[in-house]
Amino acid sequence: MSTSSDSRLLDRRGFLRLGAGVLATASAAFQWGCNLTTRACKVVPPNPFVAAGKPLLVVVEGEDMGAMLRKGIEALGGLEPLAKLGREAIFRGNYVASQPYPVTTAPEFVLAVAAELKRAGLSKTSLFDSHGTRLGAGILPEHILRRLGVLDKLTQGGVPVLARDFADPNEFVFVQNPAWPIAKPVAVSRLLHEAPIVVSLPVVKRHAGPKFTCALKMHFGSVAMADRMLVHAKDNECQSGLMHQRLVHFADAVRPQLNVVDARAILARNGPALGAGAEVVKGVNKIILSGDMVAVDSYCARLMAQRDDTFTIDMIAPQLKHAASLGLGKADLDAVKVVEIRA
């Protein structure tokens, strides 16, 4: 470069380079900043399934899954209140391992609920799951669903599967509720955050660290792997209370409008997968429906305690209490209208 050009503050080429650099930096910083911006948790309308001011919890006992579902929905007052919220619903199943029901949500159950929602006026239902990443050839987001045959069965049954990468920052939004005692956001799935209707389809299981998995704990699968990892690394054995609190915050970030628990069989003694002493208890033959996920967990914990002598409801009392304090539902079943029927 010549001396004269050296003396100039900035020549044309330098200006263009600088401009391009500044533009690129600003764009990248803007995008990064947007991704890291913390939003409020999604606002959902009040529980539409109530009776005399109390949340409804319908328990159907029987042998025929389809008949049980229909009877349960009827007792709930129908699914039309959901159809008023939107035309599409997203299901959240539990697909933590490549093992069939009751470790994971049965595809037949998903299809049966999807059929009921379509009957109520919804035009589309999809299943969301996030238990894998494209960063490993053997752990792709759909690998568990594919191995279980859920992917094929649901796709053929007209329920598309939305398998998302649990490590991809683009798939998540940061949300936070000022009422949380832990002032840290949660990276919840963008799809679930933006979905007008989320229907949760839990299974009832023991869980090694958190002791119990049902409507609340299953939302570990709704948040980024980074969030799950931090909680497991810090308090896997539920010693400090972080696990109890955080799993409630994860559920708060999703707030499904309806929970339909497939408790025809449950996984007792250990979990969340078979092995290490876990055993499948068949013949429970119940389906539980409610818009109140705390009441669902409170009821299902009792079901578990009746069939697993290593479990007591006290083990999950802190999470139920915390969830109730955040307004996620009622932990005290006296404050819930429990309807028990046979199909």
Interacting residues with other proteins (CB under 8 A): 24-25, 27-29, 31-32, 35-36, 38, 134-137, 140, 165, 167-170, 172, 174, 184-187, 224, 226-227, 229-230, 233-234
Nearer to other proteins, 36 or 333 (CB): 36
38 membership: H or E segment, kind and range: strand 38-40
**Cβ at position 133, least distance to other proteins in Å:** 9
Closest to other proteins by CB, 47 or 176: 176
d(CA 320, CA 48): 21
**Residue 278 DSSP class:** B
Residue 187 vs 258, nearer CB to other proteins? 187
Cα–Cα distance, 99 to 104 (Å, whole number): 7
Radius of gyration of the chain (CA): 23
At its nearest, how many Å lie between other proteins and the CB of residue 120? 35
Please report how close the Cβ of residue 182 comes to other proteins at its closest, in angstroms. 8
Nearer to other proteins, 118 or 134 (CB): 134
165 or 297: whose CB is closer to other proteins?
Answer: 165
User: If you count them, how many residues does the chain have?
Assistant: 343
Residue reference for tokens 């263009």: 16
Name the residue among 210, 269, 253, 205 with its Cα closest to residue 234.
210
Q: How far is the CB of 137 from other proteins (least distance, A)?
A: 5
Task: Please report how close the Cβ of residue 322 comes to other proteins at its closest, in angstroms.
Answer: 18
Cβ 161 to other proteins shortest distance, Å: 18
Helix then strand then coil, % of the chain, to nearest 5? 40, 20, 40
Nearer to other proteins, 183 or 276 (CB): 183
Q: Which is nearer to other proteins, 206 or 249 (CB)?
A: 249
Do 294 and 325 touch, CB atoms closer than 8 A? no
Going by C-alpha positions, the residue among 174, 176, 222 that lies closest to residue 198 is 222
Shortest Å, Cβ 185 to other proteins: 6
Q: How far is the CB of 28 from other proteins (least distance, A)?
A: 4
> What secondary structure does DSSP assign to 213-262, as a single string?
ESTTGGGGGGB-HHHHHHHHHHHTTSSSSHHHHHHHHHHHHH--SEEEEE
Q: Are 58 and 192 in contact (CB under 8 A)?
A: no
Cβ atoms within 10 Å, residue 306: 11
231 vs 281 by CB, closer to other proteins: 231
